[in-house]
Copies of this chain bind each other. A is one copy, B any other.
Amino acid sequence: MSNDKEVTIYDIAKKLNISPATVSRGLQDHPSISKKTKKRIADMVAEMGYRSNHFARNLRQQQTQTIGVIVHELNSHFITSVLAGIEKVTTEAGYDLIIAHSSESAVKEASNARNLFHKRVDGLIASLSFDTQNLDHFKAFTDKGVPIVFFDRVEKDDSNTVVVIDNSRAGYLATEHLVSQGCRRIAHITSSLNRNVYADRFKGYSEALAAHGLPVLKKLLVVGDLSESAGVNAARKVLAMKPRPDGAFVTNDFVAAVFMRTLKESGVRVPQDLKIVGFNNDAIAKLIEPTLTTVNYPGIDIGQIAARNLIDQIRGVAEPNQSIIVPSDLIVRGSSLEKPAHGAGRSHRPAP
């Protein structure tokens, strides 16, 4: 059925005996077109099954109405929340989204950036890959005046806006919480300190220890990636430390979960022998035993704010070069409580 040619504004203009320009204006709800004509156009559009041609429009207007997104991975609750937030805002504003992911590789990130640049996105939202060292591959955008908003994994320079949480403060609070639960020897399991997020969390961790008169020991620091084996390795290292730490601040929930599992397999009791705080508030945090104390990372908010700001920049109503801090907070669960919660860390009634 109707595998015919595509209907254009010329077709509907002809049918209505008006000019294509009038149709175009009518479609855009232009003020200088009479209500009556608009109605006739709308009716004919419906009748003929017209759909506008984005390419002609974009070619003409030199705008793509498309926003590019580069993320390091799309396998975490945090990232998908951010994407959901971005999608909500951009869809409402009539922008398309092209989502690319770098698989934590700076090379792939650069290639994604090049690709999106060629696709002429109107703006870019990005979280840097693990091993990205500089922002050179984004220079083409700034040179052309295409705005960029970085979130989470960021690197500040003079031309872009960043949306982040206060990682330093979050790290401080997480660590202080462990101290308040009686920990005196707190390991820090994290990832590359070249990345702002991990560097800042480490800073918070160090400051909290110092504030409570505890030494910051290099040997308590374990740096790895975000894989399962990183969690296993971290546990092995912690097990080998003498004296053994009585707490651990792990900057990723998945790694924290693996870390905890591995410790328990070796007979370490959590939280009695060792208390753990994670980061991100992933779904697993509530499912492992004990449930995991963690830092809530408001992905949806971050996504929405980043998208909103970017669109404002595209429209010229927002300045670039802002730093936006989104609030986050510590969610205390069983893995860090001095008096362990019963069972899985929530109240329960024993079976009769």
List residues of chain A with CB under 8 Å of any chain B CB.
1-3, 6, 51-56, 58-59, 62, 64, 74-75, 77, 80, 83-84, 87, 96-101, 117-120, 143-145, 228, 239, 254, 257-258, 261, 264-268, 283-284, 286-289, 343-344, 346, 348-351
Contact = CB atoms under 8 A, between A and B. Distances in A.
Contact of A119 (B56, B96, B100, B265): B96
24 contacts: A2-B144, A3-B144, A51-B117, A51-B118, A53-B59, A54-B119, A54-B120, A55-B59, A55-B64, A56-B59, A74-B74, A74-B83, A74-B84, A87-B100, A96-B119, A254-B283, A261-B287, A265-B343, A265-B344, A265-B346, A267-B350, A268-B351, A283-B284, A289-B289
Contacts of A64: 55
Contacts of A58: 55
Contacts of A289: 261, 288-289
A289 B11 CA distance: 65
Contact of A348 (B119, B145, B266, B350): B266
Contacts of A99: 97, 99
A266 B349 contact: yes
A98 B101 contact: no
Contacts of A55: 54-56, 58-59, 64
A58 B261 CA distance: 53
Given A55-B55, A74-B83, A283-B284, A351 B239 contact: yes
A279 to B, nearest CB: 16
Given A74-B84, A96-B98, A143 B2 contact: yes
Given A74-B74, A267-B350, A289-B289, 14 more contacts: A1-B143, A52-B118, A75-B77, A97-B98, A97-B99, A99-B99, A239-B351, A265-B343, A265-B346, A266-B348, A267-B351, A268-B351, A284-B284, A284-B287
Nearest to A69: B99
B118 A101 contact: no
A74 B74 CA distance: 9
A254 B282 CA distance: 12
A82 to B, nearest CB: 11
A348 B232 CA distance: 12
Query: Can you list the 3 inter-chain pairs with the closest CB atoms, starting with the nearest?
Result: A265-B348, A267-B351, A55-B59
A59 B52 CA distance: 12
Contacts of A53: 59, 120
Contacts of A286: 228
Nearest to A239: B351
Contacts of A350: 266-267
Contacts of A264: 343-344
Given A84-B74, A288-B287, A289-B289, A51 B120 contact: yes
A271 B144 CA distance: 61
A252 B99 CA distance: 27
A248 B197 CA distance: 42
